[in-house]
Amino acid sequence: AFNATNRVKDKFGEENKFYSFLNRKMARRQQLASPVSQTLGVLVVVFILLYGGTMILNGQGDLSADQFVVYLATFSQVMQPIKALTDSFSGIHSGISAGERVLELIDTKPELVNKPYAENLDVFGKSLVFQNVAFSYGEKQVLKNINLEINKGQTVALVGPSGGGKSTLMDLIPRFHDPKSGSIKIDGHDYKELTVESIRGQMGTVNQESFLFNDSIFNNIAFAKPNATEEEVIAAAKIANAHEFILNTESGYQTFVGDRGNRLSGGQKQRVCIARAVLANPPIMLLDEATSALDTESEKLVQDALNNLMKNRTSIVIAHRLSTIQHADKIVVIDKGEVIETGSHQQLMSHNGLYKRLIDMQAFND
C-alpha cells in the first residue's frame, strides 16, 4: 500500500537491529558474570592458600595444617552457591521487574467504585433522564448542558457531525464514565447511587466494531446467557438474520470463528453480535453505528436484524445513515457537545436546521 514496502521493511530492519543490539548487550553481561565470579573466587582461594600457608609454615598462625586444609575445603564449598547466585542475578532482576509490572496492573484501582450504600437496579421501569450533564476529557470540554429524557419503550436517535459528542454521551449511559457535573437518573434514582453491575445488567450493546471470541458461534452467542439452551440460541440467531448463514458454515453453530471473528465477514460478525444481544434480552439497547462499516447488502440484513432487536424495548441509536433512524420516536441533534435540536423526523425537517442540512447532504451524496 502507498508503495511503502521498502520504507516499512527498512524501518522494521532498524527496529530489529536495535532489539538485537540490546539482546547482545544483555547476553554479554550475563555471560561475563560467571567467568568473572569464578576468576575472583580462584584468586581469593589462591591468596588465602599463599598467605595462610606461609603463616602456618612460619608458625605464626593459630591453625594447624589439617585445620587449615579443612578451612580451605569449607571455603571452596561455600563459593559454589555464591557463584550460582551471581549467575542467576540477571534472571532474578528480570523476574522482579516483570513482577512489579504485573503487580502494578493487578493493584490498579477501578475508576468507578460503588458507594457503600449503593442499591441494585432490579428493573428499568420508567425513564432515563440527563439533567445539565457536562463531561470533559482533561481540559477538553466534550459535552455541556445536556438535558434529555428517554422514556421506556422509546427509540431515540443521536445524530450530528463527527466529533460532536454522540459516542461520549452513549458511553455515559452504562456508566463507563461519570459526568463532571449534572446528573443522570434512572427511574428517578441518581445512577451514582446504584451499583454499576446492576445498571449494566439492564443494558445491551452493539457497536461499530464487532468483538467475537476465538470460540464457536454457539458459545459466542451464548456468552450473554451461559445457561442458554440450543433452542434459545437458535431463536436469537433467527431474529438476528444469522441462522441461515450459520447453517451454511462448515460445522454450523459449532464452527469456530477465529481470532476476533476473522473467519466471518463484517456483516456475519455483526449479526452474531446482534444475536448475542437478543439472547440477553436487556430492556435498554445501545447501538453505536452498528452498520457503518458494511456493504449495502450486509447493511440491509443487519438493519433488519436491528429493527427486530429494537422492538418492544428502549433503544438509543447512533446512526451514520440517517435514513435508518427516520422512524425514531425522538431524534436528538448534537453538535459541539450541545443538544441543538430535538424532535421527530417530520418536526426537524420543518425547522430547516442542522438535521435537515445533514439529510440533504446525505441525499446529495447518495
The region, left, alpha or beta by phi > 0 then psi within -120 to 50, assigned to residue 202 is: alpha
pLDDT by residue, tens only, the chain of 366 residues: 567 788 888 999 999 999 999 888 877 877 776 677 777 777 877 887 787 777 777 777 677 777 777 777 777 777 677 667 766 776 777 788 888 888 888 888 877 788 888 899 898 989 999 999 999 988 889 999 999 999 998 999 999 888 888 989 999 999 998 999 999 999 999 989 999 999 998 998 888 787 899 999 999 999 988 888 999 999 989 888 888 889 998 899 999 998 888 888 888 888 898 889 888 888 998 988 766 655 666 667 777 777 777 878 898 998 777 877 888 899 999 999 999 999 998 998 888 888 888 888 877 665
The candidate with the shortest Cα–Cα distance to 273, out of 198, 214, 217, 201, is 217
**CB 269, CB 278: distance < 8 Å:** no
Q: What backbone torsions phi and psi does residue 310 show, to the nearest 5 degrees? A: -80, -10
The candidate with the shortest Cα–Cα distance to 333, out of 150, 148, 207, is 148
Architecture of domain 127-365 in this structure = 3-Layer(aba) Sandwich (3.40)
User: What radius of gyration, in Å, describes the C-alpha atoms of the chain?
Assistant: 33
Q: Is the pTM of this model over 0.75?
A: no
38 class by beta-carbon count within 10 Å (0-12 exposed, 13-18 middle, 19+ buried): middle
pLDDT of residue 74: 78
Dist. CA 190–CA 126, nearest whole Å: 14
| Angle, vertex CA 350, rays to CA 344 and CA 353, nearest 5 | 90
Dist. CA 361–CA 308, nearest whole Å: 28
Angle between the N-to-C axes of helices 89-106 and 5-57, in degrees from 0 to 180, rounded to the nearest 10: 130
- Domain range annotation of the chain: 5-106, 127-365
For the chain, the three-class secondary structure string (H helix, E strand, C coil) is CCCCHHHHHHHHHHHHHHHHHHHHHHHHHHHHHHHHHHHHHHHHHHHHHHHHHHHHHCCCCCCCHHHHHHHHHHHHHHHHHHHHHHHCHHHHHHHHHHHHHHHHHHCCCCCCCCCCCCECCCCCCCEEEEEEEEEEECCEEEEEEEEEEEECCCEEEEECCCCCCHHHHHHHCCCCCCCCEEEEEECCEEHHHECHHHHHCCEEEECCCCCCCCCEHHHHHHCCCCCCCHHHHHHHHHHCCCHHHHHCCCCHHHCECCHHHCCCCHHHHHHHHHHHHHHHCCCEEEEECCCCCCCHHHHHHHHHHHHHHHCCCEEEEECCCHHHHCCCCEEEEEECCEEEEEECHHHHHHHCCHHHHHHHHHHHHC
Q: What backbone torsions phi and psi does residue 188 show, to the nearest 5 degrees? A: 85, -5
